[in-house]
Structure 1
Amino acid sequence: MKVSTKGRYALRLMLDLAINNSGEPISLKDIARRQGISDKYLEQIISVLNKANYVKSIRGAQGGYILRMKPEEYTVGMILRLTEGSLAPVACVEDEENTCDRVHDCATIMVWQKMNDAINEVVDSITLADLVDFEMQKAGQYVI
């Protein structure tokens, strides 16, 4: 499993919205500048996030985007699954019930299932708030 730029940039976009949250909408141009990502590419990604109600769009001259929920309510898994689809390493472990014809004869299913479980455990245990905290600590802006 390899996360595409779409998934990586969606996570960075959401993190930027969380870090720079002042209650005012944040423009895509500002996010694009801070993150070094094309604003045209961010437009495609924000559209997906907006349709899923992860962000709220504010129109007008002072418009932009804000998070719909608190950063602790988003997991990395939510954001990546929205933009990437399944995070499973192979198709046969994507669904709850494995419908592969070889499931009972496949010695490698255990490997794929353990990888899938590990990936899901990691991405579902990290919140956007965790990433904000990490970023603030890294930047030396975190006060205990």
Structure 2
Amino acid sequence: MVTTLEYLLQKAADNGISVYELSLENIQSMIADLKDMDPAICLSSSGISSSREAAELMAHELGHFFTGTYYDSPYCANNRGKMEHKANTWMVKELLPFASLREALKDSCHEYWEIAEYCNCTEHLVETAIQIYQQKGLL
């Protein structure tokens, strides 16, 4: 059985994205669009506590790739919130689709930790998903 992280690493490879594990200070992950080269995702070699967390960081960075929201221009500081929201929305759709969240809620999971255990993800992803699905009027 393929893990979520393995699935995402394959998705990156299929799209020509190199993935590196590096010692990053103050950040856990990043994506770089190197213009003349293929894009690259870097995951921190420290500070990531689980494969679930690594998968979510990977999905977030892939979200930047698939939505084209890179920090590559002088005006990006003004749009950072919008860029992060687009990457998070992609991550949520990929890792915690609405149907899965709805199934957890129907199965009497109400606390973030209960939903996280049921859906095999982190509480942070559950919180982000709930915010996004509420904004879309689904919850």
Q: TM-score, normalised by structure 1?
A: 0.31
The one of the two structures with greater contact order (alpha-carbon pairs below 8 A, sep at least 6) is 1
Q: Which has the higher strand share?
A: 2
**Normalized against structure 2, the TM-score is what?**
0.31
